[in-house]
Chain A
Amino acid sequence: MLKVTNLHASIGGKSILNGINLEVKPGEVHAIMGPNGSGKSTLSNVIAGRDGYTVTQGSIEYLGEDLLQLEPEERACEGIFLAFQYPVEIPGVSNMAMLKAAMNSIRKYHGQEEIKAGEFLKLIREKADLVEMKHEFLKRAVNEGFSGGEKKRNEILQMAVLEPKLALLDETDSGLDIDALKIVSHGVNALRSPERAMILVTHYQRLLDYIVPDYVHVLANGKIVKSGDKSLALELEAKGYSWIEDMDDTVAAVQQAS
């Protein structure tokens, strides 16, 4: 589904990603862990198409196409969804209006008819229940005045409504208390399916107790320095990121030597 090959990206002339290789197949859940500044969020932003990043080398193939040629909205229409680390407040646009605009825009892209009002209402209420969000939140302006936990739940609600093929969850666990973390994880787990792939970007192992990944990758200095299964996350938790940074130094030393 997604094939990232030797991806190098920079922002403002500063190199952030230094040769990422990653392959994700339908149904898989990949966790990307790493210390602050390792490039975790950059990777998800580059896949989603955020402005300001320059891909200097490498490629991203998605469903057999060159993803980097697509605008962010085209990527979304092709099934990529980014749950933001810091969801944006949009005063004056209701949650419902945004979701309806999004659904209809995606439908139009695929040559489908607009969703009927009744059908839409039923759908979003059902999905709101999934993330235990009160229905009145649907009428409120997008994320305006929402608590940190409510914003993250809202991201999962949007994901549930838009039913992406590839979901990127950027530090969805940050700022969540344990109850909110459970609700969000429940929502995410309910969306796991053999057709849908997910990439979880996280700093902490804690999230992975609730959303169990198939693969764990550790990112340091813009490179994946170690990959494994869920036990890698536990090992990382026990040994700390300094273990990885040491490892990265070793890798760098080996690369330089060769």
Chain B
Amino acid sequence: MITANENQSWVTAHADVALTGANVAWLKQQRQSALAQFEKVGLPGVRDEDWRYTNLRALKSNDYALSAATPLSIELVETKNPRLVFVDGHLDLTASTGLSDCVTLLKDSLELVKDSFGSTLPKQAHGFTSLNTAYAHDGYVVHLKPGQVLDGVLEVVFVSQSADAVSHTRNLIIAQANTQCTIVERHIGAHGTVYLNNVITEIIAGDNAHIDHYKIQQESDDAFHMGGVFINQSKNSQIKNHNITLSGLVTRNDIYSNLLGQGAHIEMNGLVVGQGRQHIDNHTEINHAVPNCTSDEYYKTVLDDHSRSVFRGRIIVAKDAQLTNADQQNNNLLLSKDAEADCKPQLEIYADDVKCSHGATVGQLDPVSLFYLKSRGINAESANALLTFAFANEVIQRINVDSVRQELTQILAGELLSGLEELV
């Protein structure tokens, strides 16, 4: 149970911070109502149905403060792509490339995002979402005018390096009609550092907008990641969202899409690789509000040691949303008897002429496949590794940016194929 005092400490901790856009009326109003909402609901606890499997005791036992801007202290892998680098929520200008007319910072773009900011958030937002609105400091904004194509891949790296820092980051992708972009968000942290990364990306996809959005989480093993990706889709918009969690102590992602125009399509791909005492909670929601939309959801989890995962996949098909075609798959592989996967598909279908399918599995490696590999001389350890890698790799193979797919294949091979990396 959260006490009022605990919640109040979050508010007072941020009280004397100069807020971005403090004098911008619409933002001030949004912040105030978010704060009021937070004071009402507080941080979530296991008594909330949507949080019953995710215990935040470890998160709450620590105090966090907004960090001042510090120079990047982690070495990043080189990239040919334009890249923005945020450090503890502040843009590191010297480490960044890629700012342009259509790629800007939130704090410089308040007028531009006025009608979009907050427009995608769920009505029943939880405490972290409210805190994010109340204290969002900065973030990236991609704004595409009708017909505009953002060439190549834009990378945005969110580095957390200061101990006990909290960052509330708000990103917006506002893609008007017939636009196209590919954005890769990476969340990385300094080894052994405790911090809280509270980050929301709002995506507003206009008619026929094509957006590939990647979120790759390689947070520190002691970090807390509270993430939201909230999407509104107009007619014929096509979105691919990839949500990949490789590390972090406690991770929660809420990924929601509202299909608001006919012909809209969302693909949600997810991969969790958990080990140690990692806890990863993915809540997805696809809201088929109008007819003729399609959704394809594919989440896989590999859990070792004492790691735990939660998958809640809600699909809502409104009464008028006839000819909806929705598919959801959630497959969990447990490598240890101490690992636990909780999965909860929720289909709420109010229309009568729809095609909705879903499947959820929790299990171990297939003994017949293991025997097949062993009968070829492959030792038990390698056979296990190969099949585990293969299981996870199916999600990675859905990535259509070659460089990202190859990089993640290598990372995954490093995690799961120890000694056999050269096979991929």
Contact = CB atoms under 8 A, between A and B. Distances in A.
B375 interface: yes
A77 interface: yes
A73 B380 contact: yes
Interface in B364-381: 367-369, 371-380
B362 interface: no
B376 A102 contact: yes
Contacts of B389: 92-93
A84 interface: yes
A88 interface: yes
A158 to B, nearest CB: 6
Q: Is the interface of A mostly helix, strand, loop or mixed?
A: helix
A90 B373 CA distance: 9
Given A77-B377, A97-B424, A51 B386 contact: no
B375 A49 contact: yes
A135 interface: no
B327 to A, nearest CB: 17
A82 interface: yes
Contacts of B406: none
B423 A76 contact: no
Contact of A91 (B377, B390, B423, B424): B390
A98 B387 contact: no
Given A92-B389, A105-B382, A73 B374 contact: yes
Contact of A71 (B380, B387, B390, B423): B380
B382 A72 contact: no
Contacts of A50: 371, 375
B377 A76 contact: yes
Most-contacted residue by chain A among B374, B383, B389 (CB, 10 A):
B374
Contacts of A99: 376
A48 B375 contact: yes
Contact of A90 (B372, B377, B379): B372
B394 A92 contact: yes
16 contacts: A49-B375, A50-B371, A71-B380, A72-B374, A82-B375, A92-B389, A92-B392, A92-B393, A97-B386, A97-B424, A98-B373, A98-B386, A100-B423, A101-B423, A102-B373, A162-B377
Interface of A: 48-51, 71-73, 75-77, 81-82, 84, 87-88, 90-93, 97-103, 105-106, 109, 141, 158, 162
